[in-house]
Amino acid sequence: MKDLRALRKKGAIYAAALFFICFGAFPFYWMLITAFKRDHDLFNPESNPFLFNEPSTLEHVRLLFGQTLFMKYVVNTFLVGGAVVLITLVIAIPAAYSLTRLAGRWGESLGVGIFLTYLVPPTLLFIPLSRVISFLKLGESLWSLILVYPTFTIPFCTWLLMGFFKSIPRDIEEQALIDGCTRIGAMVRVVLPLSTSGILTIVIFAFTLSMQEFIYALAFISVSAHKTVSIGVPTELVRGDVFRWGPLMAAALISSIPVAVVYSLFLDRFIAGFTMGATK
């Protein structure tokens, strides 16, 4: 009887795991099959949408790489994402450390205040940020996105790192200070190596957020050669009410695979970065 219950329990766990695996993999399968379907097969209502009813084709991929600036969009996205990640790290790490270790009882309140700025909807900040970009004459430039995106990556990443730094015992830093390290030296040599999971988390978060952002990219850039993937693909492959589903899904698949691989490889560290601050 006990063996039967254990078998049922294990079967239920495996069934649930299989369901979530299929649920998570289905969007990738749908993008893959749509990217290589012929137009007739894609738009025929009598065709099975989950299978190839006609031989596959590469015409959608050729259109994406040959008739659009997709590779330019990818390069622009990595340039913007890399710059945003660098700016976020340079500002968020010292800010989180100072609020955690040096600000005393005001640090927690200031940290919450910084986090609340992240919750402000982008539509409310759109007009003032547009004025700033216009004043600095950065319109139609990737610099406009590099300047704007840290305004919502830095608050959240600072708040996240504060929780992570709090989980690191002060005794370790105090021992480093006794051994002759300065405050900055203790942070660089002791705290940051122990904060690898948290730093990796904000790197992934900042890059992913800058990669998928749409509103500011649409508002500040209209020149095709300066667009990122999030805005270049839909504006170039959607014409009025005509959706080029094949190239759209091919672009979505190519763009999502690197992000999915990074999340899969560093999943443990990513989860640790989000939950470490809650364990103390």
Same domain (yes/no): 180, 261: yes
| 105 vs 248: which has the higher pLDDT | 248
CA pair distance 128, 133, nearest whole angstrom = 9
- Domain end marker among 57, 80, 96: 57
What are the C-alpha distances in Å from 193 to residues 117, 169, 176, 198, 200? Answer: 28, 14, 13, 10, 11
Same domain (yes/no): 37, 127: no
Same domain (yes/no): 19, 140: no
Return the number of other C-beta atoms located less than 10 Å from residue 51's C-beta.
9
Same domain (yes/no): 169, 198: yes
Same domain (yes/no): 124, 6: no
Structure tokens belonging to residue 147: 């300047």
pLDDT > 50? residue 278: no
Same domain (yes/no): 47, 118: no
Same domain (yes/no): 25, 76: no
* CATH code, domain with 70: 1.10.3720.10
Same domain (yes/no): 69, 93: yes
Instruction: Give residue for tokens 């990738």.
Output: 28
- pLDDT, tens digit, for every residue of 150-209? 988 888 888 888 878 887 787 887 788 887 778 788 888 888 888 888 888 888 888 888
Task: State residue 171's pLDDT score.
Answer: 81
Segment holding 214, helix H or strand E: none
Same domain (yes/no): 22, 109: no
The top-scoring range by mean pLDDT among 85-89, 120-124, 183-187 is 85-89
CA pair distance 129, 117, nearest whole angstrom = 14
pLDDT > 60? residue 277: no
Q: How confident is the model at residue 86 (pLDDT cuts 50, 70, 90)?
A: very high
Q: How confident is the model at residue 79 (pLDDT cuts 50, 70, 90)?
A: very high
Same domain (yes/no): 36, 167: no
Range(s) of the domain holding residue 15: 2-57
Same domain (yes/no): 120, 164: yes
CA pair distance 173, 141, nearest whole angstrom = 43
Same domain (yes/no): 67, 53: no
Structural domain count, the chain: 2
- Domain end marker among 36, 57, 78: 57
Mean pLDDT across 207-234: 88
Task: State residue 275's pLDDT score.
Answer: 59
